[in-house]
């Protein structure tokens, strides 16, 4: 029996029209363009427009682009795997809302919450379903609206300057072509560090109602991040999981055509690039334009890399991510 693999046949992304520069942020907090660029590499980011953009709506726009690029109809999609930490509703997940917008009632949807590693986790889930023979065409999405949740004050500036909004999508399809496929995916997590980067409230284990005057006053609905701990773990895990994917396929960093890392912080990307001894042309960064869009960052970056001719048939492409949880993951792809 001929083995079944999966390949990426279409990519798409959507970012809101409102551009927020570093200088724009000075109206909310004591900061500067130089301060933000030095610490993150970010020059600007996109913020959603209330009443126009929704998490599912952005995902739908990105998905339509991916579907068109794949040259298929939306009705060809058998399964949706949707990664986000900022859904439109507490439940049901935004995958249901996007399914409705695409007119795909009846097919299965899976919502996952793996933070910045969400897209690679979702890609791995889709890959397994296709290789098992259960589905032939899977839509994989990462979408985030984070600007509405940020503490845009001096107290929260260490986090607020980093994150942006956007969505990215990919179409995975079954293939028998051993030379053009997802070679392997690698997933990891370590819950010992869950509170190093998290949002505490709302939560079902709290006393009384989830959202009260007391929980609002305590500010536990804001993002809490131990930046030094995240950086320290990220640079180690990024290199580990990239090396793991290469070793699993008998390859080395020299074989890589392009590394597309999660866009967390330019200093992290630069550190990983140095560790892997990769020249500038073998790594793709666009955090300068979009900030950290969490689950959306890799598909947005991958789509832009493809559009710029940085991803070509036969290339060896590695996707790698690290995020809250802690989670880390990689996918190695022969394009």
Whether residue 188 lies in the annotated active site: no
Asked if 321 and 298 count as a contact pair (C-beta separation under 8 A), the reply is yes
262 is annotated as an active-site residue: yes
Q: Which of 22, 265, 286, 292 is flagged as catalytic?
A: 292
Q: Which strand (E) or helix (H) includes residue 7? A: strand 5-14
Reading the block at residue 305, the tokens are 């890399």
Structural tokens at position 306:
């493809």
Catalytic pick among 22, 55, 116, 233: 116
Q: How far apart are CA 275 and CA 220, in angstroms?
A: 36
292 in catalytic set: yes
Residue found by looking up tokens 């439109």 in the block? 88
Helix (H) / strand (E) containing 244: helix 227-248
Contact 323, 117 (CB under 8 A): yes
In whole angstroms, give the CA distance from residue 159 to residue 155: 9
- Active-site residue (options: 22, 222, 262, 286): 262
DSSP state of 186: E
SS3 content of the chain, % helix, strand, coil (to 5): 40, 25, 35
Catalytic positions: 116, 262, 292
């Amino acid at each position: 029996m001929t083995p079944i693999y999966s390949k990426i046949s279409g990519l798409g992304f959507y970012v809101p029209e409102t551009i927020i520069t570093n200088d724009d942020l000075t109206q909310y907090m004591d900061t500067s363009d130089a301060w933000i660029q030095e610490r993150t590499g970010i020059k600007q980011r996109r913020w959603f427009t209330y009443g126009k953009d929704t998490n599912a709506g952005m995902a739908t726009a990105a998905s339509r682009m991916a579907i068109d690029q794949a040259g298929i109809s939306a009705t060809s999609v058998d399964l949706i795997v949707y990664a986000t930490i900022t859904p439109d509703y507490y439940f049901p997940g935004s995958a249901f809302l996007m399914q409705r917008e695409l007119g795909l009632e009846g097919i299965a949807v899976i919502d996952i919450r793996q933070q910045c590693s969400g897209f690679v986790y979702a890609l791995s889930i889709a890959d397994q379903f296709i290789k098992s023979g259960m589905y032939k065409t899977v839509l994989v999405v990462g979408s985030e609206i984070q600007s509405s949740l940020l503490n845009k004050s001096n107290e929260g500036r260490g986090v607020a300057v980093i994150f942006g909004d956007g969505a990215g999508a990919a179409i995975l399809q079954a293939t028998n072509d051993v030379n053009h496929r997802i070679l392997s995916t690698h997933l990891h997590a370590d819950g010992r560090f869950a509170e190093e980067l998290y949002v505490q409230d709302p939560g079902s284990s709290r006393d009384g109602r989830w959202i009260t005057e007391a929980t609002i006053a305590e500010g536990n609905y804001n993002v809490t991040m131990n930046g030094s701990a995240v950086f320290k773990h990220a640079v180690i895990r990024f290199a580990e999981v990239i090396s793991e994917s290469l070793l699993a396929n008998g390859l080395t960093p020299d074989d890589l055509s392009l590394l597309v890392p999660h866009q967390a912080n330019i200093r992290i990307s630069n550190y990983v690039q140095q560790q892997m001894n990769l020249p500038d042309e073998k790594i793709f960064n666009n955090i300068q334009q979009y900030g950290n869009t969490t689950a959306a960052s890799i598909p947005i970056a991958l789509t832009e890399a493809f559009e710029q001719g940085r991803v070509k048939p036969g290339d060896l492409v590695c996707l790698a991510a690290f995020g809250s949880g802690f989670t880390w993951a990689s996918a190695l792809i022969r394009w």
